């Protein structure tokens, strides 16, 4: 089906499955799947579903039926996932009792790419199958403001320069005009301009676009995908790694846990070269 349909129609069919997947905020479960960058096993917080259940309990089969999949297609997917999972490089923890969205992504990638294998350049042609398209990128409309408003810590790793961090405070969201306002944690560090919000109703994807105007006159144009757990990843054409997390939701309060000798790097990096922020 995915190979024979018009590509645009096939992409929409996959997006429909993504949008219909049941992932209520606060009901995440820990599973073991492959890490996106290293392909090593790692704990992941996501929303697994059984492949099939009786009655109205959420399952992959019910999702697919709601999206118009025939019983023949559902049976075909079941075969790919469970009978030929190793052949299609699907994680062995994908079982009839526990199926995750990345398992379906890999099944779809495998049958689309065939023997040639998936190449990351294909992500642009098949956007819902890009590895960064996780269920975390679905934000319920009523949670947009509560997700965005607060103090964020930004971590930046330029391509050939030292990593650093700084603060961003988003203090106003206007969903009538799809705009937001904010400012740096340290007054005068930079100016935030033209904050706009982009929201896709069907898939629940939330993006921010804004400008950072620095005292040197340099303007950075930022675009970021927002996650439901108060984190975001900037989309960088220059190859920078730039991400942010809500300090009040995701970072510890104590100085020792933020930057002490035993502090975890995944925490410490959000305070690099910003010692004032560590204690406040």
Query: Residue range 58-68: average pLDDT?
Result: 96
Cα 124 to Cα 249: distance, rounded to the nearest angstrom: 32
Query: Residue range 211-222: average pLDDT?
Result: 94
Query: Residue range 61-89: average pLDDT?
Result: 95
Quickly state the pLDDT bin for 239 (edges 50, 70, 90): low
pLDDT at 1 over 90: no
pLDDT at 72 over 70: yes
The CATH class that applies to domain 141-278 reads mainly beta
pLDDT at 280 over 80: no
Average pLDDT, the chain: 93
pLDDT, residue 54, reads: 84
Query: Residue range 190-200: average pLDDT?
Result: 97
Query: Residue range 167-191: average pLDDT?
Result: 96
CATH 2.40.128 maps onto the chain at 141-278
Measuring CA to CA, how many Å separate 18 from each of 102, 156, 198? 10, 30, 18
CB-CB contact of 137 with 216 (8 Å): no
Residue 209: phi, psi to the nearest 5?
-135, 135
pLDDT at 236 over 80: no
How long a stretch of residues is the chain?
A: 280
Query: Residue range 150-157: average pLDDT?
Result: 96
Measuring CA to CA, how many Å separate 277 from each of 157, 247, 270? 18, 10, 9
pLDDT at 159 over 90: no
Cα 95 to Cα 81: distance, rounded to the nearest angstrom: 8
Cα 21 to Cα 133: distance, rounded to the nearest angstrom: 13
pLDDT at 237 over 80: no
Quickly state the pLDDT bin for 205 (edges 50, 70, 90): very high
pLDDT at 83 over 70: yes
Portion of the chain with pLDDT greater than 70, in percent? 98
Q: pLDDT tens-digit profile of 28-52? A: 999 999 887 778 899 999 999 999 9
pLDDT at 165 over 70: yes
Q: For residue 183, what is the enclosing H or E element?
A: strand 179-184
Q: pLDDT tens-digit profile of 100-121? A: 999 999 999 999 998 888 998 9
pLDDT at 226 over 90: yes
pLDDT at 156 over 70: yes
Query: Residue range 197-226: average pLDDT?
Result: 95
């Amino acid at each position: 089906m995915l190979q024979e349909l018009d590509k645009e129609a096939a992409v929409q069919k996959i997006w429909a499955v993504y949008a219909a997947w049941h992932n209520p905020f606060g009901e995440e479960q820990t599973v073991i799947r492959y890490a996106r960058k290293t392909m090593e096993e790692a704990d992941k917080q996501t929303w697994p579903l059984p492949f099939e259940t009786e009655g109205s309990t959420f399952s992959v089969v019910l999702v697919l039926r709601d999206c118009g999949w025939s019983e023949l297609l559902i049976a075909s997917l079941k075969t790919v996932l469970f009978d030929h999972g190793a052949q299609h490089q699907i994680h062995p923890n994908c079982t009839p009792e526990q199926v995750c969205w990345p398992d379906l992504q890999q099944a779809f990638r495998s049958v689309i790419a065939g023997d040639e294998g998936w190449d990351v350049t294909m992500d642009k042609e098949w956007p819902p199958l890009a590895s960064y398209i996780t269920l975390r990128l679905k934000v319920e409309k009523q949670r947009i403001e509560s997700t965005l408003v607060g103090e964020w810590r930004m971590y930046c790793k330029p391509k050939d320069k030292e990593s650093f961090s700084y603060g961003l405070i988003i203090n106003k969201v206007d969903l009538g005009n799809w705009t937001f306002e904010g400012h740096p944690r340290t007054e005068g560090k930079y100016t935030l301009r033209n904050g706009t919000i982009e929201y896709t109703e069907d898939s629940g994807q939330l993006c921010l676009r804004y400008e950072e105007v620095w005292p040197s006159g340099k303007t950075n144009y930022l675009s970021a995908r927002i996650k439901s757990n108060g984190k975001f990843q900037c989309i960088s054409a220059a190859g920078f790694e730039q991400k942010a997390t809500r300090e009040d939701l995701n970072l510890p309060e104590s100085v020792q846990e933020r930057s002490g000798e035993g502090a975890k790097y995944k925490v410490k990096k959000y305070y690099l070269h910003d010692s004032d922020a560590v204690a406040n």
